[in-house]
Amino acid sequence: MSTALISVYDKTGLLEFASRLARADWNILASGGTYASLAGAGIPATEISSYTGAPEILGGRVKTLHPAIHGGILARANDEDLRQIAELGYKAVDLVVVDLYPFERTVSDPDAQEADIIEKIDIGGVTLLRAAAKNHGRVSVLCDIADYDSVAREIEASGKVGESTRRLLAAKAFARTAAYDTAIAAWFAPNLVADPSREAFALKGIKVRSLRYGENPHQSAEFYGFDPGVGPLGGTILQGKELSYNNILDLDAAWQACTRFEHPAAVVVKHLSPSGISECQGASADLAGALRKAIDCDPISAFGGVIAVNAPFDLGCAQTLGSLFVECIAAPEFTGQALEILSKKTNLRLLVPGSRMPKDEIRSVLGGFLRQDVDRGDPPGAAWKLASKRAPTAKEMEDLRFAWKACVSVKSNAIVFAKDGTTVGIGAGQPNRVDSARLAAGRAGEKAKGAAMASDAFFPFPDSVEVAIKAGITAIAHPGGSIRDADSLAAADAAGIALVTTGVRHFRH
């Protein structure tokens, strides 16, 4: 007679599944809470503490950690192993049914206390799953309620679970314990000193939804989150069509760009690159004005773009959009008056991102992936140095600092022209830096006169500086460090341009 061990936190589907096992003439061993449910329904079972002769202790923390249990699970299908457990009076266990304490759900509850979270770290359940999965040559392991029916049907048809099914179930169990342990490690991580060697880095993703397709219709795609029950960017979708793969990427780029600014700011993104960035400066808090300026930086690219703001999206912002078609808007909040207007654009997606900002950036490459810290701007202690004969005026310095901060969010090679807290020209993603400078100058036009320029990396030749001078730029910031820095500096000094070096590079590939 075959034996199943059942120990489940979630009792959904338990009684029907156990009844089918009993009708198939299987013995059932059950832990305390599971046994009580089965006994209450009149389903024959043996309580584990009665079987092992060892009571549950420590408030249920220890109940299945016993040789009678793990010997029965780990015994291989050979005469020696089966003889050993028989001599000890242990039964061979053929099926292990376990779900784990809901750690992920508990840790995502903002009201959960640390003691509650710690108690939801399963020990015995993980051990049972790993033992059964390791011995899948003889033992079946069930960790998902969705598999109850198919396993029961195999048992009803042949009295056992087939070899191929056992292997698939084992793979699923190992995936479950891996994800579970990763969730626990992720919760502990902020309280631990990071391993400087970073010899291992685990990723845990929870599938949130399948997407219609990826970047193109022939590519399948899904969105995975790090916490259960949350949407893209860890937030909430308020309205609009289903988000696409490209929408999510653009929203992430726009949201991270606008949250780099301390004052109210607006960012417009198209194809992962900002087409306009504007920040309220001084006493001004006119977010609608900043949004208008961000759009006006490149109104052609703004059509069909994605917008993000780092302050409540209000009536003025909604009115500023007018008839402009945009795909998505991300904001920490949408006022009631704004929603009244935006709700009429039924296809427009509105997203309120979560408050947690990423610490890591992950990029997949052939055969592995890359991890780096998120670039949030210049590191502490970074100091700018005056390189030119003429120092920038206070106004020029203000424009340089804004342009430099905006440059962090622009794809390399990045050139940003800015004036009065707004980008007036952006050149991005070119393999040649001077081409980025030409793009920025072309987009800025007359607005380049008296503006400041920032370059995410040093100038390998003076040609980008010469383009800026011709466009009307009066102040430049770049990291410095080129073997031809002197050539770029000579061009700036000859034109009376203020030039500072930042000592920090902000590549964004």
Task: Look up the CATH number of the domain holding residue 271.
Answer: 3.40.140.20
Phi, psi of 365, deg, nearest 5 = -135, 170
Looking at the domain assignment, is residue 207 inside a domain? no
Q: Are residues 177 and 326 in the same domain?
A: no
Omega before residue 310 within 30° of 0, cis: no
Q: How many CB atoms lie within 10 A of CB 47?
A: 19
Q: Are residues 492 and 404 in the same domain?
A: yes
User: Cβ contacts of residue 395 below 8 Å, gap of 6+?
Assistant: none
Q: Are residues 11 and 142 in the same domain?
A: yes
Domains identified in the chain, total number:
3
Beta partners for residue 30, in sequence order? 6, 47
Q: At what angle do helices 463-471 and 433-444 cross, to 10 degrees?
A: 10
Q: How far apart are CA 100 and CA 136, in angstroms?
A: 19
3-state secondary structure of 71: helix
Looking at the domain assignment, is residue 59 inside a domain? yes
Looking at the domain assignment, is residue 407 inside a domain? yes
Looking at the domain assignment, is residue 61 inside a domain? yes
CATH number, domain containing residue 96: 3.40.50.1380
Q: How far apart are CA 160 and CA 133, in angstroms?
A: 16
Looking at the domain assignment, is residue 51 inside a domain? yes
Structure confidence at residue 406 (pLDDT): 97
Cβ proximity of 399 and 468 under 8 Å: no
Hey, what amino acid is at 157?
A
Range of the structural domain that residue 184 is part of: 3-191
Q: Are residues 80 and 137 in the same domain?
A: yes
Q: Are residues 169 and 68 in the same domain?
A: yes
Q: In the listed set 337, 352, 367, which residue is the last one of a domain according to the structure? A: 352
Q: Are residues 165 and 284 in the same domain?
A: no
Q: Are residues 15 and 144 in the same domain?
A: yes
Looking at the domain assignment, is residue 177 inside a domain? yes
Q: Are residues 171 and 47 in the same domain?
A: yes
Structure confidence at residue 119 (pLDDT): 85
Cβ proximity of 12 and 34 under 8 Å: no
On whether the pTM is more than 0.75, the answer is: no
Active-site positions read: 134, 271
CA-closest candidate to residue 200, choices 216, 189, 214 = 189
Hey, what amino acid is at 160?
K
Structure confidence at residue 191 (pLDDT): 45
Q: Are residues 173 and 311 in the same domain?
A: no
Structure confidence at residue 1 (pLDDT): 80
Looking at the domain assignment, is residue 369 inside a domain? no
Looking at the domain assignment, is residue 206 inside a domain? no
Q: Are residues 243 and 181 in the same domain?
A: no
Q: How many CB atoms lie within 10 A of CB 43?
A: 20
> Where does 408-445 have alpha helices with state H?
433-444
Which pair of structure tokens corresponds to residue 471?
């466009």
Q: Are residues 329 and 397 in the same domain?
A: no
User: Cβ contacts of residue 325 below 8 Å, gap of 6+?
Assistant: 303, 304
Rounded to 5°, the CA angle 480-405-394 comes to 80
Structure confidence at residue 111 (pLDDT): 82
Cβ proximity of 317 and 336 under 8 Å: no
Q: Are residues 104 and 184 in the same domain?
A: yes
Strands 236-239 vs 265-270: parallel, antiparallel or unpaired: unpaired
Please give the chain's pLDDT, 509 residues, in tens: 888 899 998 899 999 999 999 998 889 988 888 989 999 999 998 888 878 777 767 766 666 677 878 888 888 888 888 888 888 788 888 999 998 888 878 877 778 888 888 888 888 889 899 999 999 988 999 999 889 999 999 999 888 888 889 999 999 998 888 888 877 877 776 544 444 555 666 666 778 889 999 999 999 999 988 776 678 898 999 999 999 999 999 999 999 999 999 999 999 999 999 999 999 986 667 999 999 999 999 999 999 999 999 999 999 999 999 999 999 999 999 999 999 999 999 999 999 998 888 888 888 899 888 888 899 999 998 899 999 999 999 999 999 999 999 999 999 999 999 999 999 999 999 999 999 999 999 999 999 999 999 999 999 999 999 999 999 999 999 999 999 999 999 999 999 999 999 999 999 99
Structure confidence at residue 193 (pLDDT): 43
3-state secondary structure of 401: helix
Q: Give Cα separations from 411 to 146, 275, 295, 314, 506 (angstroms).
A: 45, 11, 19, 29, 9
Cβ proximity of 132 and 139 under 8 Å: yes
